[in-house]
Amino acid sequence: MNTAKIKEQPEVLEAVIIRFVGDSGDGMQLTGTQFSDTSAMFGNDIATFPNYPSEIRAPQGSLYGVSGFQVHIGSVEISTPGDEVDLLVAMNPAGLKTNLHAVKPGHTIIVDTDAFTKKNLEKAQYESNPLEDDSLENYRIIEVSMTSLTKEALKGVEGLDNKSITRSKNMFALGMVYWMYDRSTEHTEDFFNKKFKSKPHVIEANTRVLKAGYNYANTLELIPNSYTISPAKMSSGTYRIIMGNTATAWGFLAAAEKSGLELFLGSYPITPATDILHELVKHKHFGVKAFQAEDEIAGIASAIGASFAGDLAITTTSGPGLALKGEALGLAMMIELPLVVVNVQRGGPSTGLPTKTEQSDLLQAMYGRNGESPVIVIAASTPADCFDFAYQACKLALEHMTPVILLTDGYIANGSAPWKVKSVAEMPEIKNNLVIEVKENWHPYDRNEETLARNWAVPGTAGLEHRVGGLEKDKVTGNVSYVPENHEYMTNIRAEKVQRVQNYIPNIETEFAETGDLLVVGWGGTYGSLHTAVKQINEQGYKKIGLAHFNYINPLPKNTKEVLSRFKKVLVCELNNGQFSKVLSSNFSGIELLQFNKVQGLPFGNGELIQKFKQIVA
Partner 1 sequence: METTVKKYTFKDFSSDQEVRWCPGCDDYVILRSMQKALPEMNVKKEDVVFISGIGCSSRFPYYMNTYGMHSIHGRAPGIASGVKLANPALSVWIITGDGDAMAIGGNHFIHVLRRNIDLNIVLFNNEIYGLTKGQFSPTSLVGQKTKSSPYGNTQPPFSPGELALGAQARFFARIGGNNPKEMSTIFVESHKFKGTSLIEVLQNCVIFNDGCFKNVTDKEVKEDQQIYLEHGKPMIFGKEKDKGLVLNGLKLEVVTIGENGITQEDLLVHNAKEEDPTLHQMLVRMKYPVATGIIRSFDDVTLEERMNDLTAQVKENSNFKKTDDLFFSGETYEVK
Angle in degrees, CA 511, 517, 518, rounded to 5: 55
**254 near partner 1, judged by CB under 8 A:** yes
Give the whole-angstrom CA distance, residue 449 versus residue 457. Answer: 17
Q: In the set 53, 354, 470, 605, which binds partner 1 (CB under 8 A)?
A: 470
Q: Which stretch binds partner 1 (CB under 8 A): 467-475, 515-523, 534-542, 596-604?
A: 467-475
Q: Return the number of the residue (165 or 300) whose C-beta is nearest partner 1.
A: 300
Q: In the set 116, 179, 192, 264, which binds partner 1 (CB under 8 A)?
A: 264
Give the whole-angstrom CA distance, residue 1 versus residue 485. Answer: 91
* Nearest distance from C-beta of residue 86 to partner 1, angstroms: 24
Q: Which of residues 472-531 bind partner 1 (CB under 8 A)?
A: 479-480
Q: Is 290 helix (H, G, I), strand (E, B) or coil?
A: strand
Type of residue numbered 561: K
N-term to C-term CA, the chain: 60
**1 near partner 1, judged by CB under 8 A:** no
DSSP 25: G
Instruction: Assess contact for 349 and 374: CB atoms under 8 A.
Output: no
Q: Which stretch binds partner 1 (CB under 8 A): 11-19, 135-143, 462-470, 509-517?
A: 462-470
Phi, psi of 601 (to 5 degrees): 75, 10
* Nearest distance from C-beta of residue 533 to partner 1, angstroms: 26
Q: Which of residues 227-246 bind partner 1 (CB under 8 A)?
A: 231, 234-241
* Nearest distance from C-beta of residue 329 to partner 1, angstroms: 10
* Nearest distance from C-beta of residue 428 to partner 1, angstroms: 15
Q: Which of residues 310-349 bind partner 1 (CB under 8 A)?
A: 310-311, 313, 327-328, 331, 335
Q: Return the number of the residue (46 or 609) whose C-beta is nearest partner 1.
A: 46
Q: Return the number of the residue (369 or 598) whose C-beta is nearest partner 1.
A: 369
Q: Return the number of the residue (300 or 547) whose C-beta is nearest partner 1.
A: 300
**84 near partner 1, judged by CB under 8 A:** no
Q: Return the number of the residue (337 or 547) whose C-beta is nearest partner 1.
A: 337
Q: Return the number of the residue (331 or 609) whose C-beta is nearest partner 1.
A: 331
Q: In the set 143, 257, 372, 608, which binds partner 1 (CB under 8 A)?
A: 257
Q: Return the number of the residue (176 or 288) whose C-beta is nearest partner 1.
A: 288
Q: Return the number of the residue (301 or 572) whose C-beta is nearest partner 1.
A: 301
Give the whole-angstrom CA distance, residue 239 versus residue 31. Answer: 21
**DSSP track, 424-466:** GGGSPP----B--S--TT--TT-B-TTT-PBPB--TT-TT---
Q: Which of residues 390-409 bind partner 1 (CB under 8 A)?
A: none
Cβ neighbors of 210 (< 8 A, separation 6 or more) are 171, 172, 174, 175, 178, 185, 188, 189, 192
# residues contacting partner 1 (CB under 8 A): 71
**461 near partner 1, judged by CB under 8 A:** yes
**DSSP track, 168-195:** THHHHHHHHHHHHTT--SHHHHHHHHHH
Give the x/- contact pattern for partner 1 in 408-437, rule: CB under 8 A. -------------xxxxx------------
Give the whole-angstrom CA distance, residue 447 versus residue 460. Answer: 21
Q: In the set 95, 130, 266, 319, which binds partner 1 (CB under 8 A)?
A: 266
Q: Return the number of the residue (269 or 578) whose C-beta is nearest partner 1.
A: 269
Give the x/- contact pattern for partner 1 in 14-53, rule: CB under 8 A. -----------------------x--xx-x----------
Q: Which of residues 525-584 bind partner 1 (CB under 8 A)?
A: none
Instruction: Assess contact for 408 and 342: CB atoms under 8 A.
Output: yes
- Where does residue 160 rank: exposed (0-12), middle (13-18), buried (19+ CB within 10 A)? middle
Q: Which stretch binds partner 1 (CB under 8 A): 3-11, 83-91, 308-316, 347-355?
A: 308-316
Rg (CA), the chain: 27
Angle between helices 146-153 and 200-219 (to 10 degrees): 130
Q: Which of residues 103-132 bind partner 1 (CB under 8 A)?
A: none
Cβ neighbors of 172 (< 8 A, separation 6 or more) are 144, 146, 149, 150, 153, 209, 210, 212, 213, 216
Residue 311: CA count within 13 A, CB half-sphere:
20
Type of residue numbered 42: F
